[in-house]
Amino acid sequence: MKKSENLYITTPIYYVNDNPHIGHAYTSLLCNVIARFMKLAGKNVKFTTGTDEHGQKIEKAAKAKEMQPKEFTDEVSVSFKELAKCMNFQYDDFIRTTEERHEKAVIALWNRLKERGQIYLDSYSGWYSVRDEAFYQESELIDGKAPTGAEVQWIKEESYFFRLSNWQDKLLKLYDNQPNFIFPESRKNEVVSFVKSGLTDLSISRTSFNWGIKVPGNDKHVIYVWIDALTNYLTSIGFPTIEGEEYNRFWANGSSFNVHVIGKDILRFHAVYWPAILFAADLPLPKQIAVHGWWLNEGEKISKSLGNVIDPIGLAEEFGVDQLRYFLLREASFGQDGNFSKKNMINRINSELANNIGNLVQRTISFLHKQCSGAVPTVDQSLLKNEESLPDCKAILDQVMDHLSKYEFNHIILLIINISSEANAYIDKSAPWTLSKTDRERMSLVIYKLLEYIRIIGILLQPIVPKSAEMILDQLQIPKEQRDLKSLCNTCVSPGAILPKPTPVFLRVDKEEK
């Protein structure tokens, strides 16, 4: 992720054949945290998500429930909006592929490809997975199944094709010239290997079902669901109007940064098919495809057949929204699989949130009320040097932004935890309860420094645990306009301000009850 004034960040649009699970929550959370950090940094940000509502799987799922596809998608799409609301994701646009604006964008993209000779009509025969909505070559099958483990079926039908094979060399050049186009590098290597093995033209229409956007001029054919789905990234910024403000600000502007954050299971569609389609349509490409791993449940792969699917809304209700956000970011390294464990989650909440950060806030403000009637001390700023110096805010901010550029969310959290640990150690070392009897000027200095530690922690926590961070900053009476990243270095707690009595921010979880 590069420095830029404009950031366009997207989740994939989620397929509505079932309810949201922890994987959906995790992808959206990553995007939300980046968007929040960039907004705090004063950048123009557009964060989009949505639902993918066409295709054979949806048609089958609706039929199984004796519903019309649109009625079915209307119902399930709401659950993804509810997840976003529950988890405090605050997206800027929610795109549904059944919307008129999206159909217009898909048809416009199809026509651009057709006009440029990139689409032709032929017949297709090969292995197709309904679950993956993907075609596989014979050499890719493992024990008669798709690489994902999905069942495949042999199909033969008339189909439109996209000249994917035309773009093999240009794709390889893209990966070579822009080494961070696919992040992390391990995923890039996987894609390069696939493309080097040879690309064949891609079947991009179906005639065996009806639920989808019809091919212009030939309504026997439905446009392939992945062409439909990928176009959402253009729909949300105003395509097919390419002179529009949002399109130019977030997509066509060479200095903007646009990134698709995805799970590793849909890497090929985003890192091979999508850039090839954009090349062929003579449209700009995204700057990066950022690929995260999957979540395991107590070390086991999550699947409906095992009955171990994790419901994020249920977890948020049990442990708290911010606690769940914190755990998901803390526990997994970007690009690698994360392991969900209630035991680990409880330990993180208790040891890092309650005992460390929460305890720091509670004990500091409680002591302030006991010794100073809740008033922030006025101190001689010249004394805040040498051994009494405050944390280097600029160095901290530089580290945070560097970690963010590499999606190292757990490193950002560790940095904040270390600041809090340093502050707690400072309390024990300075013993302000003793200074209250022997040196009240120094006691005031210690309290002031601790409040500054808490202010820094509160500002940095905002993208990660928004409501809890707001509680911290409210207890310090930090004005709303002084909670951005610029203010981290340029402002401080206000001497003389009367702080409210402390309210616990992070409560411990009783292990016995869980």
Tell me: the pLDDT tens digits for 460-497? 999 999 999 999 999 999 999 999 999 999 888 999 99
pLDDT in tens, 335-371: 999 999 999 999 999 999 999 999 999 999 999 999 9
- The pLDDT of residue 124 is above 70: yes
Domains and their CATH numbers in the chain: 6-292 (3.40.50.620), 344-490 (1.10.730.10)
- The pLDDT of residue 382 is above 80: no
CA distances from 250 to 5, 96, 100, 183, 254 (A): 10, 20, 22, 20, 9
CA dihedral angle for residue 293, residue 295, residue 296, residue 302, rounded to 10 degrees:
-110
With bands split at pLDDT 50, 70 and 90, how would you rate the model's confidence at 414? very high
- The pLDDT of residue 331 is above 80: yes
Of 466, 381, 464, 320, residue with least CA distance to 474: 466
Q: Residue 203: phi, psi to the nearest 5?
A: -70, 125
Is it true that the peptide bond before 179 is cis, omega within 30 degrees of 0? no
> What is the predicted pLDDT for the residue at 16?
86
pTM of the model: 0.93
> What is the predicted pLDDT for the residue at 514?
54
| Mean pLDDT for the chain overall | 93
Q: Residue 219: phi, psi to the nearest 5?
A: -80, 10
Q: Stretch 230-241: mean pLDDT, rounded?
A: 97
Q: What is the DSSP string of 292-314?
A: E--EEETTEEP-TTTT----HHH
| pLDDT cut 90: percent of the chain above it | 81
Alpha helices by DSSP H, listed for 116-224, are 168-177, 185-196
> What is the predicted pLDDT for the residue at 19?
83
Q: Which amino acid is at 8?
A: Y
Is it true that the peptide bond before 184 is cis, omega within 30 degrees of 0? yes
pLDDT in tens, 54-86: 998 899 889 999 999 999 999 989 999 999 999
- The pLDDT of residue 269 is above 70: yes
